[in-house]
Amino acid sequence: MQLDWTTFLLQIVNFLVLVWLLKRFLYQPVLAVIARRREGIEQALNDAREAEAKAEKLREDYESKLTEQNSAQASALARLADEVAAERVRRLARLDDELSAERERQAALADKQAADAGRKAEEAARAAALGFVTRLLGRLAGSALDSRLVDMLIEDLAKLPTDQLDALREAAAVAETGVQLTTARALADADLDRLLQALNSALGRTLPLTQTIDPDMQSGVRIGVGPWMLAASLADELAFFRSGARRAC
């Protein structure tokens, strides 16, 4: 078999042309497509990595913010719990104060009511006793009792405290002051003399005398000297017997 160099060379040239054509019109476009695909894939991978990094950063930020929010919420809840506890303590203290004040008020009210009840009972008892004694002494009213009451008034006059006696003397020293004598009936001359003698001795002077009869007194004597009065009569409250001088108004 004889080698045909011309044919061989033509085949080589054809092969080279084919290779060039394949490289020029097929291989390079394929490589370009592959390169573009590779770049696209790398870009997608880079974008995916960036997205993953951003997602991780967002996750970390979210977890950080969530932690901060949880911490802030826990702090707020703790402060709220403290405020609620403090407010509870304040309200309980205020309630205790109000209850204590109410107990004190109720105790004071009960004491006042008890005192009022006791005073009313005492006043009722005193009124009943006074009524009984007044009725009893009213039956004994007469000249003999008048004479005894004059004796009592003379005794009381001699026992007057110094300040009351000085007040009576000052009233007696005022110009135009007189003695107003009121009795249930006309006194016996001896009783009137004894009474005026004791009064003039106590006052240190003799004053004009005005006599008045008041049957409502039942028995006894009232002596007025200026604004002051000496009394020993059944019509006056028994509590004022032996109480000395008192103002008439």
Determine contact, residues 141/219, Cβ cutoff 8 Å.
yes
Give the pLDDT confidence score for residue 203 in this predicted structure: 85
Lowest mean pLDDT among 16-25, 114-123, 155-164, 201-210: 16-25
Res. 247: pLDDT tops 50: no
Give the pLDDT confidence score for residue 240 in this predicted structure: 47
The b/e string for 35-67 (b: 16+ C-beta within 10 A; e otherwise) is eeeeeeeeeeeeeeeeeeeeeeeeeeeeeeeee
Q: Please tell me what DSSP assigns to residue 12.
A: H
First-residue to last-residue Cα distance in the chain: 178
pLDDT, average across residues 129-158? 75
> What Rg, from alpha-carbon coordinates, does the chain have?
64
Determine contact, residues 179/209, Cβ cutoff 8 Å.
yes
Give the pLDDT confidence score for residue 80 in this predicted structure: 85
Q: What does each C-alpha distance from 89 to 6, 31, 128 come to in angstroms?
A: 117, 84, 56
pLDDT, average across residues 117-136? 72
